[in-house]
Amino acid sequence: MIYMKNLKLTQIEKRVEKIKRELQNIGQMRPGSLTCQYRNPKDKTGPFYQLSYTHKMKSRTEYVRPEYVEQLRKQISEYKRFKELVEEWIEFGIQHSKMQIDRAKKDK
């Protein structure tokens, strides 16, 4: 990530606009983590997939058929990218706001 103390207002604004464009390209998304479990862990036989996630402060676990694993991996990846972009946008928004306030104080 860019070190924000050295950024100017216009640089922050440009990066926020880029983040907005990137967010428009986010596809289907789903929170959680996908793991492969075994019915017999000792012998590693009987593999199955589980999706675990928390939504609205409630933990959930779902079984996933093997044919949907790749689709879910992509959705989980999209969700992680979404969260990263939003977090970055918030950080830039805070920095931008602080810089505007500092500038207004100096102009008085």
What is the pLDDT, as a whole number, of residue 107?
77
Reduced DSSP (H G I as helix, E B as strand, rest coil) percent helix, strand, coil of the chain, to 5: 55, 25, 20
Q: What does the domain layout of the chain look like in residue ranges?
A: 4-107
What is the pLDDT, as a whole number, of residue 104?
83
Q: Which of 107, 98, 74, 87 is nearest to 19 (CA)?
A: 87
Mean pLDDT for back-to-back runs of 10 residues, the chain (108 residues): 64 95 97 96 94 96 97 98 98 93 82
Helices (H) and strands (E) in the chain, counts: 2, 3
pTM, whole model, 2 decimals? Answer: 0.82
